[in-house]
Chains A and B, each alone.
Chain A
Amino acid sequence: MSSGVDLEHVTIRFGDFTAVDDANLAIRKGEFFSFLGPSGCGKTTILRAVSGFNEPTEGTIRINGSDMRGIGPNKRPTALIFQNLALFPLMSVADNIAFGLEVEGVKYVERRRRAEELLDLIALSGQGDKMVSELSGGQKQRVAIARALAVEPEVLLLDEPLSALDLKLRQHMRSELRNIQQRVGITFIYITHDQGEALTMSDRIAVMSAGVIEQVGDGSTIYNEPETAFVASFVGENNPFYGKVVKVEGEYAQIQNKFGLLRGRNTQDMNVGDAAILFVRPEALSLVEGNDTTPAENIIESTILAEEFEGPSIHIHMEGDTEKRISFSVSNEGKGTHLKVGDTAKICFNVDRAIVLPEGDLADE
């Protein structure tokens, strides 16, 4: 069975420090939901509150509609997968997987049968008698998942379980996790600071910063329609242009920037005079060739600071309006670029590929 998880005005404080500030969220049944944010943003605190290891200072957590306050982690219909997996090193793989069943008083033979079933699910059939130390990183990962699934939780909580794996294995485990989730059909709540993981696996993502949930939405919404400067800068690469809104017209807003007037979509109802940041993704920027006069607006003229050749594409860094450089790529046409470091070049972008957001803190690089 699968359950939804509701957070209602959840605030969690440790002394004077507010780790989570008024989180409101409804995670649906059977959803793969990710909390995405830099370390220290409070995402693990939320996870531990859902699993019962700490209680919200204020607010309510509901699982399947019932208030979880006062119910310990051993009594909640959740199972947590720890960042370091926390497998029991002195037990065999099968004993690890069946630990939750042992606690429930399931008889040995039945326990063993269930463990074998789960070993099949995680493609480790017949390896139940091995010790945990004999497994590879990815296998341990899968055993940890099986151990959590053995107690048939309604919600599975995963605390950056892939962070210890190397890149290749991590990418493989992403699709594996997604597969397992679809097969067992229960709610997965996934914590990560890796946007790639969040974007590829999740049905929906909550982006967090400094204890606050900045935005909730599916991957493409988070990426294409960021609502705050933090989300725009944290998820994917983005080039910020600071300025004041000077004109609002239809769906667009225009800002006055060091490089001139720049126009982008105004999704957040900005008004004339507001401090704003216009964000343009690297893939939306293109070079204006020498005599081309087609683009009528959104032209930025700046100095080239660096060029990085990367095979299929060439990264170009230009001087921005702050210390942050403007970065974009041009595809490799086989001849390299005719641009040199120190030259001045013009770039432009389409008005629909830029978004004007209220000024706010950007994510650290």
Chain B
Amino acid sequence: MSDFLSVFLAVVLALLVAPMLQKNTDTVWANLRQITFVKKNGVLVSTYLLGAVFIWVGLMIVAPQLYMVDFSFRDGAIGGNPDAYTLKNYSYLIFGRDSDENLFNLLHLQIFLKTILASVGVTLLAFLLCYPIAYYLAQSTKGGTTRLFLIALILPFWVNEILRAFAFRILFGSSGVINVTLMGMGILDEPIDFIKADVAMYAGLSYAYILLMVFPIYNAIESLDHNQIEAARDLGSPWWRIHYRVVIPYAKPGIASGCTMVFMLSAGALAVPQILGGPSSLWFTQIIYDWFFTGGDWSRGSAYAFVLLFSCIIFVLAVMKFFKVNLGELAK
């Protein structure tokens, strides 16, 4: 571990300091000033920009992740040999312990699969909820109303995620608002256990990331010329075809951006599943959390985290490929 870090830091230092240590420092600086980027922004600003990006991407994102990758290939179990590289953390997710009855680690694999599928479900639910809202706000309301709606959407997010999750517990609990109301109206005889049925969790997850879905879609649809919708209507198109052929293709980058964020964040959510999840259902992140903090096996936790990360990335890229969205369009 320390080897890895020292090599890494050495490379960084070499890259930074080498030009300054060279004898012909002036030539180096003169050459640097010829670079268009430096010319355009000046030495000071370009140094700041490059430095900030380097610290942000290099030191704060890439370096710790690489460090974790290294970690995931080591034996972190108590009594294990932390210096040798091994694949056992990854194999454990798939095959479990040698002494287990089943060939595969069904428990963890099921939870993994469920997390991915449920995240897809949450993403679809959030999309179905948000697309009409975004369309309505972008095309059918005027300035004042739109702002009012957007503020109404944003304000609840000033409340922190944990509190919002607990609020949902109150809403969906067996003596919660929904059950009490339904029973009071005589529709139910006994309360439905929304939490055990994971209804509360899916609702909570969809709600938690609704803004990340509304805003990209809203932004995309807002720039759509309303005449195009009217033109399609004038040519005889029913409303659903207008959306299918004109609005959705136009808003595709926004939809992709919203779906990607909601999917990634749902799959990686911890607080909401922890608070709103049923007693028998686990989210994959909870297993990762347990490896780190309860099991004390950081290596296995890292391995699990990477499997989740890469599966999600591959899944998202595959879906984007299928819908013909470029990665660059997400930033539109």
A167 within 8 A of B: no
- Asked if B236 contacts A103 (CB within 8 A), the reply is yes
- Asked if B250 contacts A100 (CB within 8 A), the reply is no
Residues of chain B lying within 8 A (CB to CB) of residue A91:
245
Residues of chain B lying within 8 A (CB to CB) of residue A78:
234
- Asked if B238 contacts A74 (CB within 8 A), the reply is yes
- Asked if B249 contacts A90 (CB within 8 A), the reply is yes
Q: Which residue of B is nearest A159, CB measured?
A: B227
A74 and B228 in contact, given A88-B246, A90-B249, A99-B245 (Cβ under 8 angstroms) = no
- Asked if A53 contacts B230 (CB within 8 A), the reply is yes
- Asked if B249 contacts A82 (CB within 8 A), the reply is no
Residues of chain B lying within 8 A (CB to CB) of residue A100:
235-236
Residues of chain A lying within 8 A (CB to CB) of residue B317:
none
- Asked if A86 contacts B237 (CB within 8 A), the reply is no
A103 and B225 in contact, given A53-B230, A72-B233, A79-B234 (Cβ under 8 angstroms) = no
| Min distance, Cβ B54 to any Cβ of chain A, angstroms | 38
- Asked if B236 contacts A75 (CB within 8 A), the reply is yes
Q: How many B residues touch the partner, as a band?
A: 10 to 19
Chain A contact residue count (CB 8 A cutoff): 27
- Asked if A80 contacts B234 (CB within 8 A), the reply is yes
Residues of chain B lying within 8 A (CB to CB) of residue A104:
236
- Asked if A74 contacts B225 (CB within 8 A), the reply is no
| Min distance, Cβ A101 to any Cβ of chain B, angstroms | 9
| Min distance, Cβ B151 to any Cβ of chain A, angstroms | 26
Q: Which residue of A is nearest B249, CB measured?
A: A90
A73 within 8 A of B: yes
| Min distance, Cβ A84 to any Cβ of chain B, angstroms | 6
Looking at A51, A52, A74, A90, which has the most chain B CB atoms within 10 Å of its CB? A74
A:145-202 near B, CB below 8 Å: 147-148, 151
- Asked if A151 contacts B235 (CB within 8 A), the reply is yes
- Asked if B225 contacts A86 (CB within 8 A), the reply is yes
| Min distance, Cβ A29 to any Cβ of chain B, angstroms | 21
Residues of chain A lying within 8 A (CB to CB) of residue B232:
88, 99
Of B228, B230, B233, B236, which one neighbours A88 at CB under 8 angstroms?
B228
Give the A-binding residues of B (Cβ under 8 A): 225, 227-228, 230-238, 241, 245-246, 249-250
Could you show 6 A-B contacts with beta carbons less than 8 Å apart?
A73-B230, A84-B227, A88-B228, A89-B250, A103-B235, A147-B231
